[in-house]
């Protein structure tokens, strides 16, 4: 995926050996085939590694949320993390002692206006419940005294990110604008800072769930205004909530709500953002 590819490139560029778990037959020396849905991962594959990073998950916005696709979203996350967690527990002291696993700020559900850090509880709805189970799937590794860090990531901004690829042509045509009333908060992070944050968390003892988001969440209206400004295009139109619900179905609820998540644990640990404001992140993503 987008984040995993960028992270692997960054680590390899600094001389680290990265082994990739793949579902198809391995075609390179640095690939290992596995079947996460069948809970199949030979624990000895992990022997000698310093850490395991799991970022898998089907694209939340790729399709309408039919019952079948919601099950795909769940299994691609929960089963994958659980398979790795059990393998980490099985390999014991000869295996990695650090497990960094993806989650999302969707854990908090619709948080409204309130600013939330990692101490906030889960929200309601499909995404929030999925994130609760996603994070709980790491438990076998924690029980085996592996340090587990769960990444509650926001919207990732990069030229190849799904959101940017979808919005850019719309804004270039002058048809960009806010969703619904535009007041819902968007927790975001640049791809550069996402990779830097993961590497920081690999090297620093910050266990538990961590908000991997920029320190300045913005409202949807602010985000679309900045997007238009960077592209030198207007952002004055509005997509009514009812239209989104017709087109997107249940997924529209996620687009019309949001989280004002703050990366309290990252900042307390000393992490510094390269793109702390949304305009600089968008300029990097759209240049």
User: Which two three-digit tokens encode residue 142?
Assistant: 């924690």
Both structure tokens of 287: 């240049």
Q: Which residue has the higher pLDDT, 251 or 100?
A: 100
Residue 27 burial by CB count (10 A; 0-12/13-18/19+): exposed, middle or buried? exposed
194 pLDDT higher than 90: yes
Percent of the chain surpassing pLDDT 90: 76
Tell me: pLDDT of 138 over 90: yes
- pLDDT > 60? residue 246: no
Q: Tell me the DSSP string of the chain.
A: -HHHHHHHHHHHHTT----EEESSPP-STTEEE-BGGGTB--GGGGTT-S-EEE-----TTSS---HHHHHHHHHHHHHHHHHHHHHHHHHGGGS-SEEEEEEEGGGG---TT-EE-TTS---SSHHHHHHHHHHHTTHHHHHTT-EEEEEEE-EEE-TTSHHHHHHHHHHHTT--EEETTS-SEE-EEEHHHHHHHHHHHHHS---EEEEES-S--EEHHHHHHHHHHHHT----EEE-HHHHHHHHTTHHHHHT---EE--HHHHHTT---S--SHHHHHHHHH-
Give the number of other CB atoms < 10 A from CB of residue 107: 27
% pLDDT > 70, the chain: 94
Q: pLDDT for 225-237, tens place per residue?
A: 999 999 999 888 8
More confident residue, 257 or 190: 190
pLDDT single digits (tens) 198-221: 999 999 999 999 999 999 999 999
C-alpha–C-alpha distance, residues 149 and 201, integer Å = 8
User: Cα dist. 159→96, 177, 276 in Å?
Assistant: 33, 19, 18
pLDDT at 39 over 60: yes
With a CB cutoff of 8 Å and minimum separation 6, the contacts of 183 are 219, 220, 221
pTM: 0.94
Average pLDDT over residues 250-258: 66
Statement: residue 251 has pLDDT above 60: no
Whether the predicted pLDDT of 137 surpasses 80? yes
pLDDT at 247: 54
**pLDDT value of residue 9:** 97
Beta bridge partners of 238: 178
Rounded mean pLDDT of the chain? 92
Question: Which pLDDT tens digit goes with each residue over 72-99?
Answer: 999 999 999 999 999 999 998 889 999 9
**Where residue 163 falls among pLDDT bands split at 50, 70, 90?**
confident
- pLDDT value at residue 65: 86
């Amino acid at each position: 995926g987008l984040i995993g590819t960028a992270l692997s490139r960054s680590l390899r560029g600094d001389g680290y050996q990265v082994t990739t778990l793949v579902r198809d037959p391995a075609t390179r020396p640095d690939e290992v085939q596995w079947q996460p849905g069948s809970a199949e991962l030979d624990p000895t594959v992990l022997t000698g590694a310093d850490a395991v990073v799991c970022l898998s998950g089907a694209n939340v916005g790729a399709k309408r949320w039919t019952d079948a696709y919601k099950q795909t979203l769940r299994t691609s996350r929960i089963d994958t993390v659980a398979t790795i967690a059990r393998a980490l527990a099985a390999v014991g002291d000869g295996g990695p002692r650090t497990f960094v696993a993806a989650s999302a700020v969707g854990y908090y559900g619709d948080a409204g206006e309130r600013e939330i850090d990692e101490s906030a509880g889960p929200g309601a709805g499909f995404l929030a419940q999925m994130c609760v189970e996603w994070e709980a799937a790491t438990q076998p590794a924690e029980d085996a005294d592996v340090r587990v860090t769960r990444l509650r990531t926001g919207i990732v901004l990069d030229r190849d990110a799904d959101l940017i690829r979808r919005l850019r042509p719309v804004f270039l045509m002058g048809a960009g604008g806010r969703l619904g009333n535009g007041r819902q908060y968007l927790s975001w992070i640049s791809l550069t800072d996402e990779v830097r944050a993961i590497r920081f968390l690999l090297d620093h003892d910050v266990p538990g769930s961590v908000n991997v988001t920029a320190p300045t969440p913005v409202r949807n209206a602010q985000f679309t205004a900045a997007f238009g400004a960077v592209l030198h295009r207007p952002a004055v139109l509005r997509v009514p909530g009812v239209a989104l619900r017709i087109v997107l179905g249940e997924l529209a609820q996620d687009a019309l709500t949001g989280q004002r998540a703050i990366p309290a644990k990252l900042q307390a640990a000393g992490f510094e953002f390269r793109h702390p404001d949304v305009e600089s992140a968008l300029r990097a993503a759209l240049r």
